[in-house]
């Protein structure tokens, strides 16, 4: 069966561990193959890290903007994926609506087309970011096998990044605390998709108290208050999330050696203070660099490596 990566919840913990392990090998399974990268939304890290990871693995990346293909406007998502499958071994897509990825996967599998599909961020999840997040923590805390029992606290809007982060953390035995105001917390469906990894012994807890959640945490993590596509609600979101900033006071209650992560782009003075982003606890640039390492693992896994 051809592999796809739409959401980490489609895998088990061993599958997540396989991807992470493949980040550290040196195979080039894309020799002679190409990868289409379709973006319905802007990107700096994902576009560049994916493009360079394809090159690292011997492949040829082709960047396609939504203005060119017009998913469900110029032609249906089904026709877009069938067309791209004529030329490419893997299609990587950043979409507004996660359901578009589901439809593309059904089209590929229904027609038994051996082309892999990978989610480069949807409104529901961001699995490739989460692989990079695990690698960044592993760097800091003595390797992937030393992560079990650590605690990551996410502060702010519980969103697509939070879902994938929490899935990857629980799959790696890392406890997750999410601090968000009511209305911005993980929904029941999101929690269920995360807790499918609780067999690894780690737990997910939610609270509206960021200080309690940060107490003794090994890493603090945040993301924008206004995700792409939520711009119409920006003003109210900034008001309602105003107490959920990672600042020096919050870092001070973390464990000794606490680090700070942010998937970026950052809005200094909103979800994170300038001092913390640029301060000694920040690992955000290492994390951004790991997007390329992570994509190598994801692409190797999509190509069938274990």
Asked if 270 is part of the footprint of ligand NVA (rule: CB under 6 A), the reply reads no
Decide: 169 and 143 in contact? Cβ < 8 Å: no
Mark 42-59 as b/e (b = at least 16 C-beta within 10 Å).
Answer: ebebbbebbbebbebbeb
Q: Nearest 5°: CA angle at 289, between 25 and 266?
A: 145
DSSP state for residue 201 in the 8-state scheme: S
Residue 80 touches ligand NVA, criterion: CB under 6 A: no
Residue 159 interface partner, choices ligand NVA, ligand CP, none, CB cut-off 5-8 Å depending on type: ligand NVA
CB of 229 to ligand NVA, least distance (A): 7
* Residue 160 interacts with, from ligand CP, ligand NVA, none (CB under 5-8 Å by kind): ligand NVA
Q: Which of 50, 125, 175, 227 binds ligand NVA (CB under 6 A)?
A: 227
- As a whole number of Å, the CA-based R_g of the chain is 19
Q: Residues 89, 66: contact at Cβ < 8 Å?
A: no
Helix, coil or strand: residue 278: coil
Pair of tokens at residue 30: 């894309």
44 binds, among ligand CP, ligand NVA, none (CB under 5 to 8 A by kind): ligand CP
Q: Given the rule CB under 6 A, which of 23-31, 41-49, 100-108, 268-276 is the region that contacts ligand CP? A: 41-49
Residue 112 to residues 4, 67, 85, 299, Cα–Cα distance (Å) = 13, 28, 11, 20
Instruction: Rule CB under 6 A: say whether 295 interacts with ligand NVA.
Output: no
Cis ω on the peptide bond leading into residue 265 (within 30° of 0)? Answer: yes
Residue 136, interface with ligand NVA (CB under 6 A)? no
Binding mask 142-181 for ligand CP (x = CB under 6 A): ----------------------------------------
* Binding status of residue 129 toward ligand CP by CB under 6 A: yes
Between 13 and 221, CB nearer to ligand CP: 221
> Residue 274's CB: how many other CB atoms inside 10 A?
11
**Other C-beta atoms within 10 Å of 148: how many?**
13
- Give the residue among 134, 126, 123, 153 at the shortest CA–CA distance from 45: 126
Q: Tally Cβ neighbours within 10 Å of residue 228.
A: 16
Please report whether residue 119 would count as binding ligand NVA according to CB under 6 A: no
Query: In this complex, which beta carbon is closest to ligand NVA, that of residue 133 or of residue 218?
Result: 133
Least separation in angstroms between CB 197 and ligand NVA: 21
CB atoms within 10 A of CB 305: 16
Residue 40 makes contact with ligand NVA by CB under 6 A: no
Q: Which of 50, 119, 125, 159 binds ligand NVA (CB under 6 A)?
A: 159
Pairing of strands 116-119, 34-39: unpaired
Instruction: Give the count of residues interacting with ligand NVA (CB under 6 A).
Output: 9
In whole angstroms, what is the distance from residue 269 CA to residue 34 CA? 41
Name the residue number minimizing CB distance to ligand NVA.
227
Inter-residue contact 276 to 247 (CB < 8 Å): yes
When asked if residue 228 is in the footprint of ligand NVA (CB under 6 A), the reply is: yes
Contact segment (CB under 6 A) with ligand CP among 39-47, 66-74, 203-211, 250-258 equals: 39-47
- The reply to whether 50 sits near ligand NVA by the rule CB under 6 A is no
Residue 285 binds ligand CP, judged by CB under 6 A: no
Contact with ligand CP (CB under 6 A) among 38, 46, 101, 157: 46
Residues that bind ligand NVA (CB under 6 A): 121, 159-161, 223-224, 227-228, 263
């Amino acid at each position: 069966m051809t592999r796809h990566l739409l959401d980490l919840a489609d895998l088990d913990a061993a599958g997540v561990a396989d991807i992470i392990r493949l980040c550290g090998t040196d195979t080039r399974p894309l020799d002679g193959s190409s990868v289409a990268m379709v973006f319905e939304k802007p990107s700096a890290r994902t576009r560049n890290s994916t493009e360079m990871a394809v090159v690292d693995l011997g492949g040829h990346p082709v960047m396609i903007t939504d203005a060119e293909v017009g998913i469900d406007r110029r032609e249906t998502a089904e026709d877009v994926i069938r067309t791209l499958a004529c030329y490419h071994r893997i299609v990587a897509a950043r979409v507004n609506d996660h359901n578009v990825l589901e439809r593309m996967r059904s089209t590929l599998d229904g027609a038994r087309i051996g082309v892999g599909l990978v989610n480069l961020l949807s409104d529901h999840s961001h699995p490739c970011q989460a692989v990079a997040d695990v690698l960044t923590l592993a760097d800091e805390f003595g390797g992937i096998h030393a992560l079990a029992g650590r605690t990551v606290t996410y502060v702010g809007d519980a969103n697509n990044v939070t879902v994938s982060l929490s899935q990857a953390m629980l799959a790696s035995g890392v406890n997750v605390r999410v601090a968000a105001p009511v209305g911005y917390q993980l929904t029941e469906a999101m929690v269920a998709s995360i807790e499918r990894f609780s067999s690894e012994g780690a737990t997910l807890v939610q609270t509206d108290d960021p200080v309690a959640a940060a107490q003794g945490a090994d890493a603090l993590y945040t993301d924008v208050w206004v995700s792409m596509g939520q711009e119409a609600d920006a003003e109210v979101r900034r008001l309602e999330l105003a107490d959920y900033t990672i600042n020096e006071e919050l870092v001070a209650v973390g464990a000794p050696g606490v680090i700070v992560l942010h998937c970026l782009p950052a809005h200094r003075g909103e979800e994170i203070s300038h001092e913390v982003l640029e301060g000694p606890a920040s690992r955000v640039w290492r994390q951004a660099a790991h997007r390329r390492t992570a994509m190598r693992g994801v692409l190797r896994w999509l190509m069938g490596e274990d």
